Chains A and B, each alone.
Chain A
Amino acid sequence: MSTQMEWPLWEVFVRSKAGLDHKHCGSLHAPDAKMAVQLARDVYTRRQEGVSIWVVPSSQITASDPSDKGAYFDPMEDKVYRHPTFYELPDSLNHM
Chain B
Amino acid sequence: MYTQAMSVGPQDAAGAEDSTLQAAFDARIDAGDFIEAKDWMPDHYRKTLVRQISQHAHSEIVGMLPEGNWIGRAPTLKRKAILLAKVQDEAGHGLYLYSAAETLGTSRDQMLDALHKGKAKYSSIFNYPTTTWADVGVIGWLVDGAAIMNQVPLCRCSYAPYARAMIRVCREESFHQRQGYESLLVLMREGTAAQKAMVQDAVNRWWWPSLMMFGPPDDASPNSEQSMRWGIKRITNDQLRQKFVDATVPQAEILGVSLPDPLLKWNAERDAHDFGPIDWEEFWRVVNGEGPLNRERLGARVKAWNDGAWVREAALAHAKKQAMTKDAA
Contact = CB atoms under 8 A, between A and B. Distances in A.
Q: Could you tell me the dominant secondary structure of chain A's interface residues?
A: mixed
A65 B40 CA distance: 12
B316 A3 contact: no
Nearest to B112: A1
Residues of A in contact with B, size category: 20 to 34
Interface residues of B, number: 29
A21 interface: no
Contacts of B316: 5, 7, 31
A43 B96 CA distance: 8
Contact of A63 (B38, B102, B315): B38
A5 B113 CA distance: 13
A1 B99 contact: no
A29 B164 CA distance: 18
B99 A26 contact: yes
A2 interface: yes
Interface in B306-327: 312-313, 315-316, 318-319, 322-323
Interface string A18-32: 000000011111011
A6 B108 contact: yes
B109 interface: yes
Interface in A1-58: 1-3, 5-7, 9, 25-29, 31-32, 35, 42-43, 46-47
A43 B88 CA distance: 9
Closest 10 CB pairs of A and B: A32-B319, A31-B315, A31-B319, A1-B113, A3-B109, A66-B38, A27-B99, A31-B316, A6-B109, A3-B107
